[in-house]
Amino acid sequence: MSDPDDGLSREELLAALAERDAVIAVLLAEIEALKRRVGMDSSNSSMPPGSDGPGARAKRAKQREKKPSPRARGGQAGHEGRNLQRVAHPDRVEVVAPQCCDGCGESLAGRAGRVVSTVQVFDTPPVKLEVTEYQMMAVPCAGCGQVTRAAAPAGVAGPCCYGPNVRAATALLACNGHMSIERAADLMGVLLDAPVSTGFTGGLVARLADALTGFETVLKDALRAAPVMHHDETPARVAGDDDDRLLYVYTARADKLVWFGAADNRGHDALDGFGILPGYRGTLVRDDYPAYAKYDKDLKAVQLCCAHLLRSLRGIGELDTDPYRVQRGWTEPAAAALSDARAAVAKAKAGGAVSLDPELLTDLRERYDKAVTWGILTNRHRDWPSGRHPGYTLAKRLQDKATQVWRFTVDFAVPFTNNPCEQPQRMVKLQMKIGGCWRSVRTAARYCLVRSYLATARNHGIHPLDAIRNALAGNPWLPQTA
């Protein structure tokens, strides 16, 4: 209590108390914002799993302990196995006969018997580099006397060179093996008896990328013609003169078609420059990064990645600090409505249906709309250090873009998530963990082009070595276009 003799009037005391309460409210809001920032990880935001620290991994471990998965470890029932399968005509057959009788010990050498069991062993023969010498002949013409010299076979040059199989294997290790040029060259010598140099290996990568210009043009044309396409981007790093700087690797995917591209910016300059989204007229599956919104007016439809939205809902729900569970009172029902809609679509598709039952869809949307509306009302005037409370921002976004959120329920050709585009980016993250960074945007773009070629060719059943051999020979594999 204030001393009446301190000279402060009642009005001054009330004003001081009001000022104190305002400061406390600001500090509480800042504490809430800091707690949210510290608690963000890949389970409750759009942060990539590779950015998770030890605390996030420990949190997931505790969650698994509390709620263990009902599935057993290993392959699940119905999973297509990939174990070795016997072949009808083995390359070689060896007969194994007993040497002596198990009863009396008498020799059984030369005695006839019968086959009672067989075992097939799959192995590669010892690798030894094979050298072929081409002797180009000069032959005089009997008629005019002109001497004609034979030309060296295609791809053969100099006094000695590596053949197409060595070149293809070296390029595959360097482009698809998540290792440095030096390590790829070393493995060629260790595994395949072909001690290539780092200069030869690095030059092959550049040659392969140069041979794929026509492939990328065809691939982009095919992507723009796809009825449904996924698009995403992820940060990487490129070495600078003084310090590393951000690089962005973009991915577009439509069914078996996979494209990677690299740029030093995350905006319209890069997206326009790639030449995929400009001119696309189908349904785009993406996250809610604002740069994509520019293309929405020309699209048939947009499906926002619901996996991103579920993580965002989980993150806002974890902001709960009051006993009334204000946040979870709307985030959990909204997330449940989306999850139930996903299960309903999967069940309908499994049963051969092409659309959801209208009453079921109406019920799901009413649950979602009710939860989102409640989120807007309860967070509209909540304090936050900068701008609107994130609970209000998310709820308003879910309301304004509900059509883009629920597109998968009215068009079964559209998936619930953008995972088909995010999964290939795991290889980019793995490359970053191993290499740390690219040396330039040019080398990153080269890597992306080769990855596009190998991923798309493999999805179409083309062996990577065959794809590389053909490309280096000037005849790259091309996807079929309509």
pLDDT value at position 178? 77
d(CA 37, CA 60): 17
pLDDT for 154 equals 86
What residues of the chain score a pLDDT lower than 50? 1-2
Q: What is the pLDDT of residues 138-187, one digit of tens each?
A: 999 999 999 999 999 988 888 999 999 999 999 999 888 778 889 999 99
- Indicate the pTM of the whole model: 0.79
Per-residue model confidence (pLDDT) at position 313 = 92
pLDDT, one tens digit per residue, over 136-149 is: 999 999 999 999 99
Given this model, what pLDDT does residue 49 score? 58
Per-residue model confidence (pLDDT) at position 219 = 96
Question: What pLDDT was estimated at residue 52?
Answer: 57
Q: Give the domain ranges of the chain.
A: 159-210, 214-283+291-297+422-461, 306-417
